[in-house]
């Protein structure tokens, strides 16, 4: 039995979970609504204040999906009740960001400004400190979508190993390399 899959998902107050005949799980909460189609080999049952995920057979593929769908449902419940947040830092001279609605304008050391359009489910906020690094904060109820948007932003200018310039997650430890050493 999957260690993650056999754990029930607790449903907080103000959150409702429903499963229809097609194995479509719908989670509604104060922040919004999310849906997820579940594989027919996986059973999802709502019992009192928790969701129990099971599987019909013990095949390798079904065992793998058991834990996957339990994690997806758990992320949906957390998303509609609390939401998710990702913070990224722009490190480098002249690296800055500016948010205007669903557009993010980035100066990342290229000869042009980069326009980064965000999906409507993701909200963005930029904090800029004088003589400091800009911080871009993404908020959403969908954990998968916010991770995908953050990865796409990071891919525009990944941190380089010598000076550490680029876009990195707040709290991320970068592997730094020593520069050239002078010959004596």
What's the domain range around 74? 9-81
Query: pLDDT value at position 183?
Result: 66
Both 110 and 149 in one domain: the answer is yes
Same domain membership, residue 60 and residue 88: no
39 and 54 part of one domain: yes
Q: Which of helix, strand or coil describes residue 79?
A: helix
Residues 116 and 147 in one domain: yes
pLDDT for 178 equals: 86
Domain-located, residue 15: yes
Of the chain, the percentage scoring pLDDT greater than 90 comes to 70
Q: Flag whether 49 is in a domain.
A: yes
102 and 70 fall within a common domain: no
Is residue 170's pLDDT more than 90?
yes
Across 168-182, average pLDDT: 85
Gyration radius (Cα) of the chain, Å: 21
Q: Which of 52, 81, 110 is the last residue of a domain?
A: 81
Q: State the Cα angle at 102 between 96 and 108, rounded to 5°.
A: 20
Name the β-bridge partners of 117: 103
The Cα 34–Cα 124 span in angstroms is 20
In the numeric block, the tokens 């020593």 are attached to: 178
Per the domain annotation, does 158 fall within a domain?
A: yes
- Tell me how far CA of residue 156 lies from CA of 23, 45, 77, 80, 161, in angstroms: 38, 42, 31, 29, 16
Same domain assignment for residues 63 and 95: no
Specify the number of domains making up the chain.
Answer: 2
Q: Distances in Å between the alpha carbon of 6 and those of 11, 47, 78, 104, 123?
A: 15, 14, 18, 41, 34
- The CATH number given to whatever domain includes residue 75 is 3.90.930.12
Query: What secondary structure letter does DSSP report for 111?
Result: S
Which of 55, 81, 107 is the C-terminal boundary of a domain?
81
Nearest-angstrom CA–CA distance, 129 and 112: 22
Nearest 5°: the CA angle 39, 28, 57 is 20
Within a domain: 181? no
Query: Does the pLDDT value for residue 156 go beyond 70?
Result: yes
Q: Are 76 and 32 in a shared domain?
A: yes
Quote the CA–CA distance of 10 and 66 in Å, as a whole number: 17
């Amino acid at each position: 039995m999957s260690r993650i899959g056999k754990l029930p998902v607790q449903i907080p107050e103000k959150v409702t979970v429903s499963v229809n005949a097609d194995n479509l799980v719908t989670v509604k909460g104060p922040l919004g609504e999310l849906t997820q189609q579940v594989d027919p080999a996986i059973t999802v049952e709502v019992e009192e204040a928790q969701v129990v995920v099971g599987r019909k057979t013990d095949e390798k593929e079904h065992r793998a999906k058991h834990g996957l769908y339990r994690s997806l449902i758990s992320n949906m419940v957390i998303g509609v009740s609390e939401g998710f947040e990702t913070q990224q830092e722009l490190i480098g001279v002249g690296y800055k960001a500016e948010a205007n609605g669903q557009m993010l304008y980035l100066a990342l050391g290229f000869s042009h400004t980069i326009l980064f359009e965000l999906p409507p489910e993701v909200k963005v906020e930029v904090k800029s400190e004088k003589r400091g690094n800009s911080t871009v904060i993404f908020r959403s109820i969908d954990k998968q979508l916010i991770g995908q948007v953050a990865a796409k932003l990071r891919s525009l200018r990944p941190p380089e190993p010598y000076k550490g310039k680029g876009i990195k997650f707040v709290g991320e430890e970068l592997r730094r390399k020593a520069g050239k050493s002078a010959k004596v």
